[in-house]
């Protein structure tokens, strides 16, 4: 294998550890002020690993050099070595049991800080984003101390639950999206950008515009800040490290932005494009194979190993399917047809 490919493969551990430490930081933020310094330490270590040009693997046997990395003290250095040797971090597993881990993704969105997430979990018993959406739809959050009407309204906007959202014709939405894409793609650090959601599926009318882009971890927040500061933006609904929702001045259209890495791009694009029914069918196929699929990739449930996610084509091939164009992802018989087409080729 050429040296460049070896380095590229090894850098994967930098990305994986950066993600794990970012998630551990979220766990510590949730646990409260007494864990503040641990949260900061793991977030700093996450950024350091994201920015490293050298594979962390080469330092696996040099504890002193690991300890000298910015934000990487003795404890975190030990966890890096543990991960490189075993593929896991035992402390992370323990943390996941202490917090409502599936719910912590909300902390990437402005308005869902640790205090709010803790309130949702401890007072209402919410353990995931889906449970939160169900609770909002059933009116369970109304009248809860700490969740004022304005806060609930902002939650609904961030979670795309507004039923009064104005829909616009496809052509108008495409024109607006294309103009916005041309502006965003010129922001430093943006490697690739595309539309997702119902706009990509070519629905006759569009409720909001979904935009997906690729950027390195350490540049995500800067890019989000640039986007929410654009003169085209009328109102900021939510803004986090990797996501943002804004309302444009043009017809008050809502735009939802998501930033991912190259390894997550295909999975995120598939997930955000939908339809919901199509994604459910793919999840059922994955379950039968002992896998799980989400916006971050396709994973082996038993081992936790990631087995796909860079492109949509890669994921469909992994599932034994021909590529299904976005406009045909209706959640009807398109998967069955794709399976038959592949059988005929064989």
pLDDT of res. 65: 66
Inter-CA distances, 92 with 23, 87, 88, 172, Å: 9, 12, 8, 46
Distance CA 285, CA 61 (A): 41
CA pair distance 99, 27, nearest whole angstrom: 7
- Cα distances from 306 to residues 26, 34, 125, 242, in angstroms, run 22, 34, 30, 21
276-345 to CATH, choices 3.40.190.10, 3.30.210.10, 3.40.50.2000, 3.30.360.10? 3.30.210.10
Whether 336 shows a pLDDT value over 80: the answer reads: yes
On the question of pLDDT at 66 being above 80, the answer is no
> Which sequence spans correspond to the domains of the chain?
3-98, 103-158, 168-260, 276-345
Same fold, 168-260 and 276-345: no
Phi-psi region at 68: left, alpha or beta (left = phi > 0; alpha = psi -120 to 50): alpha
How far, in Å, CA of 85 to CA of 57, rounded? 10
| 3-98 is a CATH 3.10.290.10 domain | no
3-class secondary-structure state, position 247: strand
Domain with residues 103-158, CATH architecture = Orthogonal Bundle (1.10)
| Alpha carbons 242 and 222: distance in angstroms, whole number | 10
Please spell the DSSP secondary structure of 275-315, one letter per residue. Answer: -HHHHHHHHHHHHHTTEEEETTEEEETTT--EEE-S-HHHH
Nearest to 266 by CA among 222, 305, 216, 323: 323
| Separation of CA 181 from chain center | 20
Does the pLDDT of residue 176 top 90, yes or no?
Answer: yes
Distance, in Å, from the CA atom of 78 to the CA atom of 34, rounded to the nearest integer, reads 22
Gap between the Cα atoms of 6 and 81, Å rounded: 19
CA distance linking residue 75 with residue 125, whole number of Å = 33
* Assigned token pair, 281: 């069918």
Q: Between helices 3-31 and 74-86, what is the axis angle to 10°? A: 130
Instruction: At 322, give phi and psi (nearest 5°).
Output: -70, 155
Averaged pLDDT, 10-18: 82
Q: Are strands 192-196 and 291-294 parallel, antiparallel or unpaired?
A: unpaired
| Kind and range of the H or E run holding 162 | none
Q: Is residue 312's pLDDT more than 90?
A: yes
Q: Are 273 and 329 spatial neighbours (Cβ–Cβ below 8 Å)?
A: yes
CATH topology of domain 168-260: Beta Polymerase; domain 2 (3.30.460)
Q: Is the pLDDT of residue 340 over 80?
A: no
> How is residue 294 written in tokens?
């989400």
pLDDT of residue 210: 96
Confidence of residue 63 (pLDDT cuts 50, 70, 90): low
% of residues, the chain, pLDDT over 70: 90
Q: What is the pLDDT of residue 165?
A: 52
């Amino acid at each position: 294998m050429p040296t460049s490919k070896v380095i590229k493969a090894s850098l994967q551990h930098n990305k994986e550890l950066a993600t794990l430490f970012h998630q551990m930081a979220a766990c510590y933020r949730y646990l409260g002020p007494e864990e503040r310094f641990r949260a900061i330490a793991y977030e700093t270590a996450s950024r350091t690993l994201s920015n490293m040009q050298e594979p962390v693997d080469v330092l696996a046997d040099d504890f002193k050099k690991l300890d000298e990395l910015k934000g990487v003290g003795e404890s975190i250095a030990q966890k890096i070595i543990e991960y490189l040797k075993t593929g896991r971090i035992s402390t992370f597993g323990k943390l996941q049991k202490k917090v409502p881990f599936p719910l912590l993704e909300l902390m990437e969105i402005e308005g869902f800080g640790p205090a709010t997430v803790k309130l949702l979990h401890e007072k209402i018993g919410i353990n995931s984003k889906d449970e939160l959406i169900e609770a909002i739809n059933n009116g369970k959050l109304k009248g809860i101390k700490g969740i004022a009407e304005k806060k609930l309204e902002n939650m609904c906007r961030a979670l795309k639950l507004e039923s009064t959202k104005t829909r616009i014709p496809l052509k108008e939405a495409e024109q607006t999206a294309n103009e916005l894409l041309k502006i965003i793609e010129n922001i430093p650090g943006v490697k690739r950008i595309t539309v997702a959601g119902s706009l990509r599926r070519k629905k006759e009318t569009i409720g909001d515009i979904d935009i997906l882009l690729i950027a390195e971890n350490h540049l995500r927040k800067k890019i989000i800040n640039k986007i929410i500061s654009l003169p085209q933006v009328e109102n900021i609904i939510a803004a986090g490290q990797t996501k943002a929702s804004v309302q444009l001045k043009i017809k008050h259209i809502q735009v939802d932005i998501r930033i991912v890495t190259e390894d997550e791009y295909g999975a995120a694009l598939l997930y955000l494009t939908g339809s919901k029914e199509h994604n459910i069918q793919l999840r059922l196929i994955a379950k039968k194979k002992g896998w799980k699929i989400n916006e971050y990739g396709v994973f082996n449930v038993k081992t936790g190993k990631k087995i796909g996610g860079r492109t949509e084509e890669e994921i469909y091939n992994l599932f034994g399917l021909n590529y299904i164009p976005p406009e045909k992802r209706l959640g009807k018989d398109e998967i069955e047809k794709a399976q038959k087409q592949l059988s005929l080729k064989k």
